Amino acid sequence: MHELRLVAVSEDGTYLVLASTGRGTRFMLPVDDRLRAAVRGQFSRLGQYEIEVENPLRPKEIQARIRSGETAEAISEISGIPIERVRWFEGPVLQEREYIAQQAQRATVRASGDATPGPSLEEVVTKRIGAHQLETGDASWDSWRREDRTWQIKLVFLHGGDERVAHWLYEPRHNSVTPADEEAARFSESPSAVPLAPPDATVTPFSPRRPEGAVERPRPAPEPPSELRTDP
């Protein structure tokens, strides 16, 4: 590798003239955005510029895909962009997704057929799985934006030792969530203590069982009314 030194700057400032040490060979280096970013120490901007030039997937597109739920690993594999560069744009979007998940927990739950807002999502979840899972991190929240611009909320939790997943749809404008699958719908169900018998069920009256071998004594006949009685 040869060391170069700055000799001159063009009159219009569009390129630099460099020369190798001990030789008369000169080089012309264009002054572009990458060079300006490198001189100023703006290495994140330099990486962003390299992505814009070398890959058709722009930073805004990377962030849009992360916002829709894709991982940095998947984007790196599909686009060929090094994972380190993808992660430069991942942080703010992940913070946004975390914020939306927190806001959704404060939204009211609207089940199918409900005319009025119900309790908050946090309340119905805590009532079913308890606060311990949420405090220890055994239950975790996530969110991502769908193509229709609504947000999908995901809850991973433990039930009976098994991992389960529930999804809701969150509409920030209405500050409400609706169950998106059967697992989420169960959170809004009110448990019934005793199941009701079907209308055509046969009801058998209860009568105590007699001990085996017991003899049933005949019951005395009822006495007639006094006005019908005849004295002997």
Please identify which residue in the block is written with the tokens 């989420």: 184
- Between 69 and 1, residue with greater pLDDT: 69
pLDDT at 226 over 80: no
CATH number at residue 141: 3.10.450
Note whether residue 164 is domain-resident. yes
Please name which of 22, 23, 40 lies closest in space to residue 31, comparing C-alpha atoms: 40
Note whether residue 175 is domain-resident. yes
Distance CA 191, CA 30 (A): 73
- Between 30 and 218, residue with greater pLDDT: 30
DSSP secondary structure, 111-123, as one string: -TT-SS---BHHH
Q: Residue 81: what pLDDT?
A: 84
**pLDDT tens digits along 104-149:** 999 999 865 666 667 999 999 999 898 888 888 889 999 999 999 9
Q: Residue 147: what pLDDT?
A: 92
Give the pLDDT band (50/70/90) at residue 44: low
**pLDDT tens digits along 64-106:** 999 999 999 999 988 888 888 889 899 999 999 999 999 999 9
Q: Residue 224: what pLDDT?
A: 52
| Cα separation of the two ends of the chain | 143
Strand partners, 156: 140, 165
Distance CA 223, CA 232 (A): 15
Note whether residue 202 is domain-resident. no
Range of the domain at 102: 96-188
Note whether residue 178 is domain-resident. yes
Please identify which residue in the block is written with the tokens 């409900």: 114
Is the CB of residue 101 less than 8 Å from the CB of residue 160? no
111: phi then psi, degrees, rounded to nearest 5? -85, 170
Number of domains composing the chain: 1
Residue 11: both structure tokens together: 């009159």
pLDDT at 26 over 50: yes
Residue 132 burial class via C-beta count within 10 angstroms: exposed 0-12, middle 13-18, buried 19 and up: exposed
Query: What is the value of pTM for the model shown?
Result: 0.59
Angle of helix 43-54 relative to helix 59-67, nearest 10 degrees, comes to 90
Please name which of 59, 53, 1 lies closest in space to residue 30, comparing C-alpha atoms: 53
